[in-house]
A = this chain, B = another copy of it.
Amino acid sequence: MSENNLENKSEKYFEITKKVDGTRARMGIIHTAHGDVTTPQFLPIGTKGTIKTVTSEEIKFWGATMVLANTYHLWQRPGDALIYKAGGLHKFMNWKGPIFTDSGGFQVYSLAKMRKVLEAGVLFQFDMDGKQEILSPEKSIDIQANLGSDICLILDDFPGFPFEHKRSKESIELTKRWAERAVAEHKKIMDHGDPINPGQKLWGIVQGASFEDLRKQSAENMVELGFEGFAIGGVAVGEPHEEMMKAVSYAIPHLPEEAPKHLLGVGTPYDIVQAVGQGCDTFDCVIPMREARHGRLYISARTEDGKEAYETIDVRNAQYAEDFTPIDSSCNCYACLNHTRAYVNHLIKSDEMLGARLATMHNLRFYLNLMDKIRKAIEFDYFDDMLNDFKDLTPPKARAKSTND
């Protein structure tokens, strides 16, 4: 594909603007009802309708184009009915750019006190008041329609790690049946309801753990339903990097090349570069923000032979208490331009909110800068070098676990 595609701009939901020979990496633009998302892209997570510690103005200034919000959390509080009354999530949180919502399936999996997968949906117990409730495929769509996100997801079922073939096979079959119901519900609301966002697009989710046959089957199931975009789910559940890459590489070839693809809950900078090489376009992950609040900061580094890499430091460590240098001398975020490791060490050890703010802004900027580097590497034809060279130099024991919340 080439610049010729630009002619079709107004017709295509996703434009591929550049491809990389020898890998599946590509650059593109997703045209949403609230503006364009240039890919590859990282979506900061606004779990409860706020990117933790950050204003909408800041996240935009730092270079984010789309944010992710959590269906489950907003359903619980303040409730999707209230957000509908506010005019939708864009207005409620005053974020004018695109919003991506998950289906709530992951939170029910990871947070609910009690969870039972039924044909009707997921029966689970709320963590706040002990009340049992069902999240059905239809309910998830109803909530997301009330939020008015630009991209919403079907409710999916998936097993945790370690992966097991029989349970994974059941999960892709159930996910398929739920997907059919979600599609019907979404169509009903878009055609006959009064949706906040008539331009909302529903994406499918491919499951199947790290089994080649199941990822292929699940991808084909989703393609059959005619989705314009796809998420790859069931990863970032505690599996090693290699298993995650298997899951991705087994799914991608069976999805339409011209469709945008999101990798749910991933991951470390290293994971992201590798997954871009596999053809993933967008990513969301709590790592940069959650780690920031605990003092773990992402720092640019070089490999022994001078190649671009990164590592993490725990800025709470005593060695940084009198370190009057910036968090990362090569970073252009407000925290790095204005403050020292010693100051951030003091703030985080003192539980001062400004510490969480400075650390969050740095880590998010690191991730958003990383995506910019990836896009430049694709645009200027050196992404294959980046794919081979870019390493995580953090000692393994300090490495972040790519779970989600």
Chain A positions near chain B (C-beta within 8 angstroms): 48-57, 77-78, 82, 85-87, 92-94, 321-322, 324, 334, 338-340, 342-343, 345-347, 349-350, 352-358
Contacts and interface: CB of A to CB of B under 8 A. Distances in A.
A53 to B, nearest CB: 4
Nearest to A56: B338
A321 B82 contact: yes
Given A94-B338, A346-B77, A352 B52 contact: yes
Given A78-B346, A92-B342, A354 B55 contact: yes
Contacts of A78: 321, 342, 345-346, 349
Given A93-B343, A94-B339, A324-B86, A353 B353 contact: yes
Contact of A338 (B54, B57, B334, B354): B57
Contacts of A354: 50-55
The 7 closest A-B pairs by CB, nearest first: A78-B346, A50-B354, A53-B353, A94-B338, A50-B352, A48-B350, A353-B353
* Copy total for this chain: 2
Contacts of A55: 334, 338, 354, 357-358
A49 B346 contact: yes
Contacts of A339: 94
6 contacts: A48-B350, A52-B352, A55-B357, A78-B345, A82-B321, A93-B343
Given A78-B346, A334-B55, A86 B340 contact: yes
Contact of A353 (B92, B94, B346, B356): B356
Nearest to A76: B350
Contacts of A347: 48-50
A125 to B, nearest CB: 20
Contact of A342 (B82, B346, B350): B82
A52 B353 contact: yes
Contacts of A357: 53, 55, 353, 357
A75 to B, nearest CB: 13
A294 to B, nearest CB: 14
Nearest to A48: B350
A57 B353 contact: no
Contacts of A56: 338
Contacts of A93: 343
Contacts of A345: 78
Given A77-B349, A82-B321, A353-B353, 20 more contacts: A48-B346, A48-B352, A49-B346, A52-B352, A52-B354, A53-B353, A55-B334, A57-B334, A77-B346, A78-B346, A78-B349, A82-B322, A85-B324, A86-B324, A86-B342, A86-B343, A87-B324, A93-B343, A94-B339, A353-B356
